[in-house]
């Protein structure tokens, strides 16, 4: 499985803000590292999020919820989800409106990790 590193998330965030606008900057390195590492959490030799769909959902949720960046937390959370799945050959079908609604729902506390995971499976192409 290919998972994003902290440095890769930072570079994606920079490119995202260049393309879409917003205030650059990392608010809290620790919160970013926590978000990225949370997707690889394990207890002993048992991964908490063993599938790539679970890892992508966890990363997305943590990036949006942790607010590690000055701006663009929802956007980087959704982009990281899409990139992680794409790097691992998981194809989705969705509209831009659905992506926006997902990011807003997580940011507003209306959607959690499990909701993102269900969203992935509902939009996954076989």
Identify the residue with better confidence: 41 or 117: 117
User: Rg for the chain (alpha carbons), in Å?
Assistant: 14
The string of pLDDT tens digits covering residues 69-84 is: 999 999 999 999 999 9
Query: Which range of residues forms the domain containing residue 94?
Result: 22-123
Predicted TM-score of the model (pTM): 0.94
In a domain, 4, yes or no: no
Q: Confidence band (pLDDT; 50, 70, 90) for 122?
A: very high
Q: Which residues contact 69 (CB under 8 A, 6 or more apart)?
A: 13, 25, 26, 27, 32, 76
Instruction: Please indicate, yes or no, if residue 8 is contained in any of the structural domains.
Output: no
**61 and 89 Cβ atoms separated by less than 8 Å:** no
For residues 57 and 85, the answer to whether their CB atoms sit within 8 Å is: no
CATH number of domain containing 43:
1.20.120.1870
- Number of structural domains in the chain: 1
């Amino acid at each position: 499985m290919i998972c994003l590193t902290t440095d890769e998330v930072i570079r994606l965030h920079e490119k995202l803000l260049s393309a879409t606008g917003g205030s650059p900057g990392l608010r809290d390195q620790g919160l970013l590292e926590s978000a990225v590492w949370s997707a690889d959490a394990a207890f002993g030799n048992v991964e908490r999020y063993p599938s790539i769909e679970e890892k992508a959902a966890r990363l997305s949720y943590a990036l949006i919820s942790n607010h590690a960046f000055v701006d663009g937390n929802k956007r980087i959370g959704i982009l990281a989800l899409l990139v992680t799945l794409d790097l691992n050959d998981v194809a989705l079908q969705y509209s831009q409106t659905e992506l926006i609604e997902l990011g807003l729902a997580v940011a507003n506390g209306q959607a959690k990790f499990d909701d993102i995971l269900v969203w992935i499976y509902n939009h996954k192409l076989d």
